[in-house]
Structure 1
Amino acid sequence: MIIKEIRALHDQVKHDYEAGLYQKQTTFYAKNYAKNTSSDYQLGYEQAVRDNHKQQQKHYPRRLILGLNWVLFNQLHELVDFVNGYNDFYRKLDK
């Protein structure tokens, strides 16, 4: 179940990345798309706002993502920032 959720999150992030929604682009994904100037953290926060409005909160395995990011030498930093922004919205909502 967790692998399926991580794969879905990866696919979403890849789609957003290719659409130019993240800050940096590598040559592998470089395309001629209009870039969004929002930070990855802010994109996660905004996604949480939309999910909260639809009452469809997602639970991302933050520790697993942090571990994978560490193993992959910080190659998942966009994903980590996105999940941090997403989770921070719900932390603020609970206060």
Structure 2
Amino acid sequence: MTKLHDNIQENYEQGNYQGAEASYQQMKSTQLKTMSDNVRSDYQMGYDQAIADYKNHNPFHYYPDKILQLSNSGKPQVADYVQGYNTGKNSTK
């Protein structure tokens, strides 16, 4: 264990890890941008799913109106998704 520590310290003192911080920051920045680009609203995900179902000749899903009441019971994501899906489904007619 002491040899590992000494080896790391020697490399650090020689400046062998200077590029590591820049590489890490670049990777982190790229990863965060990719994640933020993929963030979509629940409504948009439902809409996109309906359009994908239509384009792929898949049957549309049926969501009972009672699901929309979930928005009043602390589950607005589900209701938003269903509203988006229904809007997308109706836009294909």
Shorter-chain TM-score tier: 0.5 to 0.7
Q: Deviations over 1:47-81 (max 9, x none)?
A: 111111222211111x21123433x2xx2100111
Aligned to 2:77: 78
User: Quick one: distance in 1 between partners of 2:81 and 2:88?
Assistant: 11
Aligned to 1:48: 50
Alignment partner for residue 60 of structure 1, among 58, 63, 73? Answer: 63
Contact 2:70 2:79 in 1 (8 A): no
Moved over 4 A (4+): none
User: Quick one: distance in 2 between partners of 1:64 and 1:77?
Assistant: 13
User: Quick one: distance in 2 between partners of 1:46 and 1:37?
Assistant: 13
RMSD: 1.6
Q: Quote how far apart the aligned CAs of 1:37 are.
A: 1.5
User: Quick one: distance in 2 between partners of 1:54 and 1:43?
Assistant: 16
User: Quick one: distance in 2 between partners of 1:92 and 1:54?
Assistant: 15
**Whose helix proportion is higher, 1 or 2?**
2
User: Quick one: distance in 1 between partners of 2:86 and 2:49?
Assistant: 10
1:1-80 alignment to 2 at 5 Å? Answer: 34=35, 36-56=38-58, 57-61=60-64, 63-70=65-72, 72=73, 75-80=74-79
Percent identity over the alignment? 35
Query: Could you list the runs of 5+ residues in structure 1 that have no partner in the other structure?
Result: 1-33
Q: Which amino acid aligns with 1:85?
A: G
Query: Could you list the runs of 5+ residues in structure 2 that have no partner in the other structure?
Result: 1-34
User: Quick one: distance in 2 between partners of 1:40 and 1:84?
Assistant: 9
User: Which entry has the higher C-alpha Rg, 1 or 2?
Assistant: 2
